[in-house]
Amino acid sequence: MSRADGFDAVVVGSGPNGLVAAVTMAEAGRRVLLVEAADRFGGGLRTEELTLPGFHHDVCATVLPLALASPAFRELDLEKGTVEWAHPPVPAAHPLDGRSAVLIHRDLDRTARSLGRDAAAWRATVGATSRGGSRLVDTLLSPLALPRAPLRAARFAAAGALPLTWLARSAFRTTEARAALAGMAAHSMLDLRAPITAGYGLLLAALAHQVGWPVVRGGSQVLADALVARIVRSGGEVVSGQTVRSLDELPDAASVLLDLTPRQVVAVAGHRLPQGYRRRLERYRYGPGVFKIDWALSGPVPWIDPAVAGAGTVHLGGTLEEIAASEATVARGGHPERPYVLLVQPCVADGTRAPAGSHVLWSYCHVPNGSGMDMTGAIEAQIERFAPGFRDLVLARSVMGPAAMEAHNANLVGGDIGGGSARLSQFVGRPAYSPHPWATPVPGLYLCSASTPPGAGVHGMGGRQAARLALRRAGSMAE
């Protein structure tokens, strides 16, 4: 990287936000350089043969409803021959002991009817969020902008600000509905007794009805590769296998955008940051880590309830009370005996992931940040609980605890896949409270990772917001 190259913008890190930032800058006519430390682009959008040849596993992100719903990706219109979304027959399922599994269908009414006494309550809570449509989603993914749907946003906020445990018990009467919403909310990696956990559950459940929970045919890497190709077609340059240890190593550019979490920002830019801002970054709190397992299987998972075989995503944790107890244990720094397990069956939607007749399986549970405990037995016991004989199908497994996750991607600090705790105080104040949290006090230096609003998820909004802010400020400087 020669300092005489004359780039208008340099983007460091090629996760979903960094890729969207680079595309946005390049398609605005700026000369862009994208720099990635790993040998392949994508950050969390990586697909590799982790177990056996011919078995393709998504290393981190795999089910991508936010990529379909996000205005950043909608504007890119990537489906034109580059990215194919593969939808499972059922977006999500929630098995229960001694009962039929709860199935979350694309069809809202079909899902509601299956919940019996809670049909009306599901329509009034999850259904109301789903009916908010793209205008409500756009508002929720742009929390610092004027709401596009103010009345719908206000109604969502009234319920979404609540702890999930309170909303589930007050709105629903059945074990099934309470458990299903708890499984959705537990994606937040928060104690479900904490504020705003209901909002995470409502939004994710609503997206299943609104856009579905698809995977990318061929693996999440296909999405990353499509974005990289778009950058190059727009005149940008991309470099992989290049670790940036200091901003001083980068070519001169009017704008530098960092798809990094606060710890890495301090490492590469701390010498330029004002002391007060640097201290705020150093106080930034990371959330729990994940313990992830990928399997190569000789056949489909033998679920007790055969309807679960058609679900792309499966939440394993039992009742609301069990899931809440599991997440509370992690929040206290402990390891649950029966963890909440998030599991994905990619081959249900995309048969290209494994040889004919075989399957890949993806899962993780939550653990304290930086945990060194092996959760393989606990995760597989939860699967066996609802699918006896599962272990007999295992051909090979790949295990990645928090340390391995961070070694694979430095942004996953302590195994935190969310770019920082999703608790209320960091929901908007990511990484520090500001009307423009994507900008640092250093002119021309911006942050665009999941550590900025709106937080975790493959939505690209942190990259879009940072790039648009950089373009506006560069334009005003030029004037």
Q: Give the containing element (helix H, strand E) for 166.
A: helix 164-171
pLDDT in tens, 382-403: 999 999 999 999 999 999 999 9
Domain total of the chain = 2
Q: Is 23 contained in some domain?
A: yes
Is residue 294 within 8 A of residue 51, CB to CB? The reply is yes
**Is residue 273 domain-shared with residue 252, that is, in the same domain?**
yes
**Is residue 143 domain-shared with residue 194, that is, in the same domain?**
yes
Statement: residue 150 has pLDDT above 70: yes
pLDDT-based confidence at residue 5 (cuts at 50, 70, 90): low
> In the listed set 211, 227, 249, which residue is the last one of a domain according to the structure?
211
pLDDT in tens, 301-343: 999 999 999 999 999 999 999 999 999 999 999 999 999 999 9
Q: What is the pLDDT of residue 149?
A: 82
Statement: residue 210 has pLDDT above 60: yes
Statement: residue 147 has pLDDT above 50: yes
**Is residue 207 domain-shared with residue 220, that is, in the same domain?**
no
**Is residue 124 domain-shared with residue 204, that is, in the same domain?**
yes
Q: Give the containing element (helix H, strand E) for 313.
A: strand 311-316
- Range with lowest mean pLDDT among 372-386, 422-436, 447-461: 422-436
Statement: residue 79 has pLDDT above 80: no
pLDDT in tens, 106-144: 999 999 999 999 999 999 999 999 999 999 999 999 988
Q: What is the pLDDT of residue 145?
A: 84
- Mean pLDDT score, 220-228: 97
**Is residue 124 domain-shared with residue 180, that is, in the same domain?**
yes
**Is residue 231 domain-shared with residue 199, that is, in the same domain?**
no
Q: What is the pLDDT of residue 474?
A: 87
Share of the chain above pLDDT 90, in %: 92
Cis, bond preceding 454 (omega within 30 deg of 0): yes
Q: Is 467 contained in some domain?
A: yes
Q: Is 230 contained in some domain?
A: yes
Q: Is 169 contained in some domain?
A: yes
**Is residue 174 domain-shared with residue 145, that is, in the same domain?**
yes
Pure H helices in 234-375? 262-269, 275-282, 320-331
pLDDT in tens, 166-200: 999 999 999 999 999 999 999 999 999 999 999 99
Q: Is 165 contained in some domain?
A: yes
pLDDT-based confidence at residue 77 (cuts at 50, 70, 90): confident
Is residue 263 within 8 A of residue 17, CB to CB? The reply is no
**Is residue 122 domain-shared with residue 186, that is, in the same domain?**
yes
Q: Is 361 contained in some domain?
A: no
Statement: residue 1 has pLDDT above 70: no
The radius of gyration computed from the CA coordinates of the chain, to the nearest angstrom, equals 21
> In the listed set 211, 233, 257, which residue is the last one of a domain according to the structure?
211
pLDDT in tens, 284-304: 999 999 999 999 999 999 999
**Is residue 125 domain-shared with residue 205, that is, in the same domain?**
yes
**Is residue 179 domain-shared with residue 264, that is, in the same domain?**
no
pLDDT-based confidence at residue 479 (cuts at 50, 70, 90): very low
Domain extent at residue 130 = 115-211
> In the listed set 192, 211, 230, which residue is the last one of a domain according to the structure?
211
Statement: residue 476 has pLDDT above 90: no
Q: Is 315 contained in some domain?
A: no
For residue 31, CA distances in Å to 27, 249, 251 come to 9, 18, 12
Q: Is 36 contained in some domain?
A: yes
Is residue 463 within 8 A of residue 441, CB to CB? The reply is no
Statement: residue 4 has pLDDT above 50: no
Q: Report the residue count for the chain.
A: 479
For residue 152, CA distances in Å to 101, 181, 206, 218 come to 31, 20, 14, 36
Q: CA-CA distance, 140 to 138, in Å (whole number)? A: 6
**Is residue 156 domain-shared with residue 125, that is, in the same domain?**
yes
Q: What is the CATH number of the domain that holds 428?
A: 3.50.50.60
More reliable by pLDDT, 80 or 66: 66
CA-wise closest residue to 401 among 436, 426, 375: 375
Statement: residue 253 has pLDDT above 50: yes
pLDDT in tens, 17-48: 999 999 999 999 999 999 999 999 999 999 99
**What interhelical angle do 16-27 and 221-233 show, nearest 10?**
20
Q: What is the pLDDT of residue 472?
A: 95
What residues are paired with 363 via a beta bridge? 293, 343
Residue with tokens 């705003």: 196
Q: What is the pLDDT of residue 3?
A: 43
**Is residue 128 domain-shared with residue 207, that is, in the same domain?**
yes
